[in-house]
């Protein structure tokens, strides 16, 4: 089943017939592969690792698949298709990225759900593109087309980073947030509560859903001896975490993971401010699966320490998996759950 934006793209397949097409930020379906019924070649860049894994079996001579915040080459395309993201600032980045990889006069296609802010594109499009034309309006989505009329500027990652100094109980931390990453311009209240109640940990520790690396940096400030691994499903988050670690002269392993699937071995500790959004939808499945998977990744006596919105129903899952629910701190919005694996 194709998402609504994908269905709108497919009903306009005459726009890219026999063309070399770039797809940016595609969704959880097999759209890049389906495009080959019309396009000559397709290159697809996923920002979501789960979406990338969904497509990897289809990699072929005419379908190139990448997971990253940018392409590994300077290839040029006839058409670039962007799925409009939830964060407007990320949309601006993707438009710049598309422009950098379009041939002169190349076509830009931007599609998105009405509730996702796609109408903002008209004011957001930069001067090196022509004014967007509303090509289609269907399935609660809009599809705009535009043309590259001037050379787009090359992307410098530093131009898309918000950096700020943060005083934490563990010391001052420089935070580097790329566009589209959670809590882009300031520390969110959940992480603030977590840092105020950071546990002592040892050995090999996993930071799940690392985001911009705030928890990782604070943890390493307090315990630089830890063997810390930072995972996230989002390419922009992983790049942000790497920038934050570098800015603070700290070292940890960073890599993408769909849940805990790409982690290996066992951990003495797992820490997280876990995500509960999948695109525009709020879901507790991410964290429920995380709780269940954690049991198989923790050594006996291992520390499991997270912060979560207090209204989300995590207690039953935690009680089922750990045998008890420990809440060492909470406020009117968040709870810290902290357990040790007994069995």
Domains of the chain and CATH, by start: 4-154 (3.40.50.150), 158-340 (3.40.50.150)
Across the beta sheet with 253-256, the strand order is 253-256, 227-232, 204-208, 267-272, 298-309, 334-340, 329-330
CB 43 within 8 A of CB 23: yes
When pLDDT is averaged across residues 11-32 and rounded to a whole number, the result is 97
The arithmetic mean of pLDDT across residues 295-318, rounded, is 91
- Is the pLDDT at 180 greater than 60, yes or no? yes
3-state secondary structure of 108: strand
pLDDT in tens, 229-274: 999 999 999 999 999 999 999 999 999 999 999 999 999 999 999 8
CA quadruple 210, 261, 281, 85: dihedral positive or negative?
A: positive
Q: Has residue 278 got a pLDDT over 60?
A: no
The model's confidence at residue 132, banded by pLDDT at 50, 70 and 90, is very high
- Nearest by Cα to 268 from 218, 188, 341: 341
The two three-digit tokens of residue 179, written as one number: 């566009």
Cα distance between residue 64 and residue 44, in whole Å: 6
Whether the predicted pLDDT of 222 surpasses 50: yes
State pLDDT tens for residues 51-65: 999 999 999 999 999
- The C-alpha atoms of residue 187 and residue 166 are separated, in whole angstroms, by 8
Pinpoint the alpha helices (H) of 173-323: 189-195, 214-222, 235-247, 285-295, 315-322
Query: How much is the average pLDDT of 1-16?
Result: 97
State the pLDDT at residue 279: 47
């Amino acid at each position: 089943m194709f998402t609504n934006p994908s269905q709108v793209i497919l009903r306009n397949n005459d726009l890219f017939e026999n063309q070399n097409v770039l797809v940016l930020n595609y969704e959880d379906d097999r759209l890049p592969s389906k495009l080959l019924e019309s396009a000559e070649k397709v290159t697809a860049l996923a920002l979501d690792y789960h979406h990338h894994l969904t497509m990897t079996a289809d990699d072929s001579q005419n379908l190139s698949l990448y997971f990253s915040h940018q392409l590994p080459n300077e290839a040029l395309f006839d058409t670039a298709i962007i799925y409009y993201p939830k964060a407007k600032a990320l949309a601006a980045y993707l438009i710049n990225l598309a422009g950098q990889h379009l041939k002169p006069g190349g076509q830009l296609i931007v599609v998105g759900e009405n509730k996702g802010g796609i109408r903002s594109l008209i004011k957001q499009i930069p001067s090196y593109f022509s004014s967007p034309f509303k090509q289609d309006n269907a399935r609660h989505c809009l599809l705009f087309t535009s043309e590259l009329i001037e050379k787009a500027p090359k992307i410098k990652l530093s131009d898309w980073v918000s950096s700020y100094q943060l005083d934490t109980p563990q010391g001052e931390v420089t935070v580097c947030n790329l566009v589209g990453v959670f809590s882009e311009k300031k520390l969110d209240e959940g992480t603030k509560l977590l840092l105020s109640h950071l546990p002592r940990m040892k050995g090999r520790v996993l930071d799940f859903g690392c985001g911009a690396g705030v928890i990782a940096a604070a943890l390493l400030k307090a315990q630089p001896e830890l063997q810390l691994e930072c995972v996230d499903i989002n390419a922009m988050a992983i790049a942000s975490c790497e920038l934050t670690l570098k800015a603070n002269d700290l070292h940890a392993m960073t890599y993408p993971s769909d849940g805990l699937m790409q982690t290996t071995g066992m951990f003495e500790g797992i820490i997280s401010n876990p995500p509960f959004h999948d695109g525009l939808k709020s879901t507790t499945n991410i964290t429920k699966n995380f709780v269940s998977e954690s049991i198989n990744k923790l050594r006996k006596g291992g520390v499991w320490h997270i912060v979560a919105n207090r209204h989300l129903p995590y207690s039953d899952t935690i009680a089922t998996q750990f045998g008890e629910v420990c809440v060492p701190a909470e406020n009117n919005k968040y709870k810290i759950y902290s357990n040790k694996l007994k069995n």
